[in-house]
Amino acid sequence: MSDVTVEAMEGKVVTNQLPTGAIVGESPLHHSDLASIAEKGPQQGGVHFHERKLKGLLTLRCTPSVEQLSLIESLLGVALPMQPLTSVTADAISVRWMSPDEWLIIVDGEQAFELETRFQEKFSGHYALVNISGGTTIFEVSGSHVVDMLKKSTPVDLHASEFPVGKVVSTVFAKSGATICRLADEKFELVVRRSFADYLWLWIQDASREYGLVVKA
């Protein structure tokens, strides 16, 4: 426990989950050595794959009142997306609607502890804010055939008329699950479980084979 910083505030305990010192954080796809594949592998293809590794992910659960909503906005810098299946993407922070009383907050890995501490200090009422960074990783898939690849993996309708930029869905993906957000016409973000990351990486390689897979560092 010596590498862990704990700050206690009136019964709330916030733990910095990032190791300090000589311990280097490893993403769930560390063993795949994506950096080498990006350098030596194919540079052209229909599907581009990039792991946005070691991000800070926080789950917020509450049914916010009007005052709480404005406090959340001031703490996060962006307003909570209240409409179902919507999201907010800003430079340093993005927020995904997960269910009527649940949101996923994505920040840089180093900022999660700071945001969590600030939130627990200022926020009150009936709510829960949990750091889930350690259990998840984020894949970013893009390219001219990315929709074709995703169609093999999920039953969700991905046509632009049904799935516009900014929409976010939690759904089944391959034989696992993922939270899919459309970042651009041909760019998607998949938030996946850490334990399924390797399986989904293998799945995406297989599903992308006919289009050509390009790994981005």
Partner 1 sequence: MFHIYCPHCCEYREEEEFHASGQAHIPRPLDPDACTDKEWGEFMYFRANPRGIHHELWVHGAGCRKYFNITRNTHTYEILEVYKVGEKPSVVANEAK
Q: Is 199 in the site for partner 1 (CB under 8 A)?
A: no
Q: Which is nearer to partner 1, 190 or 214 (CB)?
A: 190
Q: Which is nearer to partner 1, 48 or 182 (CB)?
A: 182
* 33 three-class SS: coil
Q: Of 93-132, which residues contact partner 1 (CB under 8 A)? A: 98-100, 102
Q: Which is nearer to partner 1, 131 or 179 (CB)?
A: 179
DSSP string, 118-155: HHHHH--SSEEEEE-GGGEEEEEEESTTHHHHHHTT--
Q: Of 172-191, which residues contact partner 1 (CB under 8 A)? A: 172, 177
212 Rama class: left (phi>0) / alpha (psi -120 to 50) / beta? left
Taking CA atoms, 52 is separated from 92, 122, 216, in Å, by 13, 29, 10
Distance, in Å, from the CA atom of 190 to the CA atom of 206, rounded to the nearest integer, reads 17
Distance, in Å, from the CA atom of 186 to the CA atom of 106, rounded to the nearest integer, reads 21
Cα atoms in the 13 Å half-sphere on the side-chain side of 164? 4
131-170 footprint of partner 1 as x/- string (CB under 8 A): ------------------------xx------------xx
CB of 144 to partner 1, least distance (A): 26
Q: Which is nearer to partner 1, 171 or 195 (CB)?
A: 171
CB of 24 to partner 1, least distance (A): 34
The number of residues that bind partner 1 (CB under 8 A) is 13
Strand-pair partners of 128: 61
Q: Of 71-90, which residues contact partner 1 (CB under 8 A)? A: 84-85
**Residues found near partner 1 in the complex (CB under 8 A):** 84-85, 98-100, 102, 155-156, 169-172, 177
